[in-house]
Structure 1
């Protein structure tokens, strides 16, 4: 991972209720070694410790490895983006 950032999202500026996780990528030589799982579990603990009720993230549809990891960790799909080449 080059960068993992948790940003509290808020209904108003004084009461954050969820966090958005942003991770750029994992180099191919360090994939499938448990680093992503450990990072996401640490992020989940941080959210819990800071009284946030949920954590969200975005993942590309073609990234089956990351999607499988997030599903194993209990994340569910909540939206889809669609595009059309012209």
Structure 2
């Protein structure tokens, strides 16, 4: 068993650790994750639900900042249009 597997098993043992900043930071370092802002998603099309608020909106903002083309799906056309305007204003994309 290599060191990455041992550390991963230790993080997973109490379960809650994997869902904290500590778990994220350890895995990011062990697996050499690049920061989200460094991903180039130009030319990618992503269909996203729930982008009018909360986590969905935060995800949409981040994906747009990385250059992705977004297709937002939602139940309320007015809220979708407002979300699109906010995403474009924030990301320029």
TM-score (norm 1): 0.37
Higher helix share: 2
Name the larger-Rg structure: 2
Task: Name the structure, 1 or 2, with higher relative contact order (CA <8 Å, separation 6+).
Answer: 1
Normalised by the length of structure 2, the TM-score is 0.35
Identify, as 1 or 2, the structure richer in strand. 1
